[in-house]
Structure 1
Amino acid sequence: MASLAAAERFGEYVMYEQPGEWVFAADPLGSVELDAGELRIDWSGRTTARAWTGSPARVIDAALAELALGGRKAYGWIGFEFCAYSLAATKYLNQRTPLAHLMIPRIEVRIDASGVRISGATPSEACDIHDLIAASQGVPLPVSTPVDVRIDPTDYAARVAGAVAEIRSGAYQKVILSRKVSLPFAVDVPATYRLGRANNTPARSFLLRLGGLEAAGFSPELVASVDDDRVVTTEPLAGTRAFGLGVEADDAARADLLADPKEIVEHAISVQTSFAEIAAVAVPGTSAVSDFMAVRERGSVQHLASTVRGTLAPDRTAWDALEVLFPSVTASGIPKRAGVDSVFRNDHDPRGLYSGAVVCVSPTGALEATLVLRAIYQTGEGAWLRAGAGIVGQSRPEREFEETCEKLGSVAPYVVEA
């Protein structure tokens, strides 16, 4: 997949890994872009732009329905600021704030246990794809460039202390504050993905170049999925310790995680919120929690994790479910409205794709949105990493800073300079 992305032959692309399957979707036939002031649809060689109102989820759903997709899926991303409309935070946006970018690919390359399947490509392109895949086998992993993740011009500890004071005053229960680590060099994003994926254990992974943004990441959890049976699933992860320091240290960290009241409270209120959100769009009585407070390893960290499911109500769509569950409770705050307001006030920069989602949308109505956290980002203005921590009343600023360093350890050691 990294070799296909690096080949520079297929234009813009989104690569997405699900359990047991990888898809490389490339060379868009068209796209749907949404920012705070405008909806743009590019299809059949024609671009239209118009103002929009209401729910961004329903606007995108309706825009995709306008297109003659011919059974094709759409792939792309939605940014954290997408949530501002459902959570009364639009005052923090300007007209050009990007909210979402989806594309409909001409070419799809799928790889699973049964082999390689290519659709939409010419015979010559299909031969090139097979050659690129064959040539990638056995190539040594790239060499990374060290990144100092402890540099912090954002005064993270002071921002955490301010949030703790707000929480203790009763303003809200929890907020996730993050910090950005700018990189002093241009990044080879496909090579970084390849090296990072070899050293991570994500729930999903992605690699994309779309609309001037390159990104690669190792997602720890789903924000939302709706399958063809209309089952809605989300996977809140909250509560973190380091992982990968050796069996004895990892076991000790796991035991500490399972016994820490702060981490247990943080996780329990996240699951409670996710359950209420799914119940709001599900058939009554179908919402349920499974694997409560399991420990799942995700690269350089281990988390407390649970799974929440329900059956989507007949009058609801997959986009309705995504809007209710987005942003992930583990990347925003509790209650969500107050938590998101705190994020906009206390985080140092607009988040964009960080704590947003990479999405795959099926013409059957199914949808999957994976949370973007352990990732690298690059535009023409530079490259950066970003990580956050869940802040509650018991939080200590120095510990929350260490948690961001632990999370950055899932990506920072694998950054490959261009």
Structure 2
Amino acid sequence: MTRLAGSGLFTDHVVYERPGRWTFAGGVRGEVVLDAGTVHTRWPDREPLSAPYGGRPAGALREAFAAAPLPAWNAYGWIAFEFASARPSGRLAHLVVPRVEVRVEDGEARVSGTDPRDVERVADLLAADVPSRTAAPSPVDVRQGGDAYRARVARAVGDIAAGRYQKVIVSRRVDVPYPVDVAATYARGRAANTPARSFLLDLGGFQATGFSPEVLASVDEDGRVMTQPLAGTRAFGSGGDADARTRKELETDPKEIFEHAVSVRTSQEELYRVCDPDSVHVTGFMTVKERGSVQHLGSSVGGVLAPGRTCWDALDALFPGVTASGIPKAGAIEAIGGLEERRGLYAGAVVAVSHTGALDSALVLRALYNEDGRAWLRAGAGIVSGSTPDREYEETCEKLSSISPYVVPLA
């Protein structure tokens, strides 16, 4: 995947990993870009079109893809956190239908595309005996900006005590002080992480790579929906007794248990809106998930879409992830707008969606972002009434350590 992404064959590309399957989507056959109030579409043999839209952004995406002049398609891309804002601004989504797809399963690569020349070039690249790149990383110092972050956590705890909301995720940005090689960072970071999903993308000059700990929404062709809220965090990776000790802390800490339980309850309530209520269920409640440098409490919440509902409805109901926004969501999203600068892709989603009605999306955390020669990391912590600024700051450091040691400078 890194070889394909770094080959220069396709300026725009997306790599998306699910358990047992890797996909590379290269080039642009069709494109849907969503800005606040405007949807831009580009399809084969049609003039590019920009048009205003009303209603919810998910509805604009659904209508844009419903009008695609293609008998079959798969699309890949990203959705910004502000997609869910009551007053959205900036770019909200960017998805492409690729010219070429490479799927790797069980050690075998399958290449498909609309242009035989693209397919041949990709096949030649896959067959070439090219040694793997082993560029050395330059770890990023994540222990910066602590005082400002602690002050924002204290402010959020005060808002919770005043009854403005129950929980809010407060995040902080860490700038990378050098140009980065995003593809090489993906290769280094993926070798050291155990994500639920991973991704590497370059669309319109915006690059990102990450190791998502959490499935935001997964919908299969039969309408079965699954989301995987993770909440409650402790460090992981110190080995033996240290990891066992932090695991026990995680499983017995009242603050962490409360944070997880209310997140699961919220996910259930969201699925009730779009699923047959009798089908909504929780499995694997509060099991520990090991994700790189941290471990979380995790559960799976599932259901079956109600008649007339689609994968876009499921995404709309679950977005943004409760574990990256807060409770209640509307109040938490509004609070985040006052506590932080625009998030963009952080706490948004990377999405793979198909004409069949299937959709898979990963919550964007543990990621590196790069645009206009500047790169940055970002991490947050869930703030509830029992939160302390020092502990929440340490949690952001633990999460940032899933990617900060693996950032590779641009040669």
What range describes the TM-score normalised by the shorter chain of this pair? over 0.9
Counterpart of 2:363 in structure 1 is 371
**Residue 216 (1) aligns with residue 209 (2):** yes
**Residue 267 (1) aligns with residue 260 (2):** yes
CA distance in 1, matches of 2:129, 2:14: 19
Q: Secondary structure at the match of 2:110?
A: strand
What are the Cα deviations for residues 258-288 of structure 1, in whole angstroms up to 9, with x where unaligned?
0100000000000000011111111121100
| Greater shift in the superposed pair: 185-194 or 125-134 | 125-134
Matched AA of 1:166: D
Is the alpha carbon distance of 1:27 and 1:263 closer, same or farther for their aligned partners in structure 2, counting shifts above 3 Å?
Answer: same
CA distance in 2, matches of 1:123, 1:98: 33
Contact preservation (8 Å) 1:154, 1:179: no
TM-score of the superposed pair, with normalisation by structure 1: 0.95
Is the alpha carbon distance of 1:399 and 1:137 closer, same or farther for their aligned partners in structure 2, counting shifts above 3 Å?
Answer: farther
Select 2:329's aligned residue among 332, 336, 341: 336
**1:123 shift after superposition:** 4.9
**1:122 shift after superposition:** 4.8
Select 2:183's aligned residue among 190, 205, 216: 190
Counterpart of 1:47 in structure 2 is 48
CA distance in 1, matches of 2:271, 2:115: 43
**Residue 390 (1) aligns with residue 400 (2):** no
**1:134 shift after superposition:** 4.5
TM-score of the superposed pair, with normalisation by structure 2: 0.97
**1:50 shift after superposition:** 1.2
Contact preservation (8 Å) 2:179, 2:373: no
Is the alpha carbon distance of 1:158 and 1:54 closer, same or farther for their aligned partners in structure 2, counting shifts above 3 Å?
Answer: same
Counterpart of 1:57 in structure 2 is 58
Matched AA of 2:299: S
Task: State the Cα RMSD in Å.
Answer: 1.5
CA distance in 2, matches of 1:141, 1:410: 19
**1:142 shift after superposition:** 2.3
Q: Secondary structure at the match of 2:207?
A: strand
Counterpart of 2:280 in structure 1 is 287
CA distance in 2, matches of 1:284, 1:259: 31
**1:51 shift after superposition:** 1.2
Is the alpha carbon distance of 1:102 and 1:138 closer, same or farther for their aligned partners in structure 2, counting shifts above 3 Å?
Answer: same
Contact preservation (8 Å) 1:159, 1:346: yes
Query: Which residues of structure 1 form unaligned runs of 5+?
Result: none
Matched AA of 2:370: Q
Query: Which residues of structure 2 form unaligned runs of 5+?
Result: none
Counterpart of 2:193 in structure 1 is 200
Identical pairs, percent: 53
| Greater shift in the superposed pair: 136-145 or 329-338 | 136-145
Select 1:108's aligned residue among 98, 101, 110: 101
Counterpart of 2:19 in structure 1 is 19
Q: How do 1:14-413 residues align onto structure 2 when only pairs under 5 Å count? A: 14-44=14-44, 46-84=47-85, 89-90=86-87, 93-94=88-89, 97-113=90-106, 115-120=108-113, 122-135=115-128, 139=132, 141-152=134-145, 155-347=148-340, 349-413=341-405
Matched AA of 1:53: G
Is the alpha carbon distance of 1:414 and 1:340 closer, same or farther for their aligned partners in structure 2, counting shifts above 3 Å?
Answer: same
CA distance in 1, matches of 2:155, 2:20: 43
Matched AA of 2:271: I
Equivalences, count: 409
Contact preservation (8 Å) 1:3, 1:136: no
Q: Secondary structure at the match of 2:98?
A: strand
CA distance in 2, matches of 1:196, 1:10: 23
| Greater shift in the superposed pair: 325-334 or 244-253 | 244-253
Matched AA of 1:325: L
| Greater shift in the superposed pair: 330-339 or 61-70 | 61-70
Contact preservation (8 Å) 1:34, 1:98: yes
